[in-house]
Chains A and B, each alone.
Chain A
Amino acid sequence: MKVLVPVKRVIDYNVKVRVKADGSGVDLANVKMSMNPFDEIAVEEAIRLKEAGKADEIVAVSIGVKQSQETLRTALAMGADRAILVVAADDVHTDIEPLAVAKILAKIVEEEQPGLVLCGKQAIDNDMNATGQMVSALLGWSQATFASKLDIEGDAATVTREVDGGLQTIKVKMPAIVTVDLRLNEPRYASLPNIMKAKKKPMDEKTAADYGVDVSPRLEVVKTSEPAERAAGIKVGSVDELVAKLKEAGAV
């Protein structure tokens, strides 16, 4: 089985983003960028499927600016076999909407015929939580979101999902789209030799136009603003003082 893993280049999760003063967006120039953490979990799961003999090839795909090739190299260094870069934007500040990304991914799926697409459940930049579900809709495939456990047996996958009430287990027909949650696995770091080897792994370069997909946004960004700041608080010296302050504030 071939596994397709879409990966997104996003601001590193340790970096606190800055909103530009003119409200036109956030500042991503000279900011550390990394693979979306959920996508790392997806790559890791694909590698584990391969190690378990359930997958034979892992194809990583990234859609965005040209620099996304760095993200793909990371996926290759972790253990993906080859990569497809779809250049769909010139400016690092352009975020391709999940609908357009999903349309490109659906086309790639038609070409590549994977048995499984493993996506991160959400990108930590736009926090949309949508791409996997949209790919699934466009393909008419089954979908299992927010996976914390994945078991593939023949033509079905049993997936445990993290939901508001706790955990839900469902069984989906293959081929399937699975979006992964934090507790599915702990992604490995790429070793230095593997980083070197990854440089020689194949990477195809395409454009959105190659797939005939219009990536123009459906949502026009009117403005981007800072969230309301909280007023500075105080430190209390003891539990007694804390209790007194809470009573004074009417909080208990």
Chain B
Amino acid sequence: MWIYEKKLQYPVRVDTTNPTLAAMIIEQFGGPDGELSAGIRYLTQRWTMPTNQGKALLTDIGTEELAHWEIIGTLVWRLVKDAPIDKIKGTPFEAHYVNHGKSPFPHNAAGEAWTAGYIQSKADPIADLHEDMAAEEKARATYEYLIRVSDDPGVTDTLRFLRQREVVHFQRFGEALRILQEYMDNKKYY
């Protein structure tokens, strides 16, 4: 089960009102390599993960990704909440605004709605862990692109934190893969 903790994982600071940047950051709210995809992917793969190490990691990293999803939604919200309509008109956020107002919504930066087609769960732990490692690297790459386009120092600081988490998650999934391979080798012999 889950219990909500009334705090963000990272002390988010946003220095500007910037609907254009908000529209780009939304990539990680509802894009293929975003935090929602990550959370749902890992939490869904748990039922068919045979090792305890893998079960624990999918649970804890999946949960952390949902905390990141909350951070991304907070960045988007803070970047637009004080924007008057003339600061929204003509920006890439305008198309989002006419449907969702200032609410974050899980679609990618190009406006495509989030879909479970972004994730996989194969009941094949080797395939799943490889997918997870690739997902972490793709998320890292996306954060690097976002850091390049960010012109808000507070937002950049949070993006750097999130990028770093993807590096750590990749490392942990790699260890889980090695443990899984040993587990499967042992099963063959006994």
Indicate whether A and B interact: no
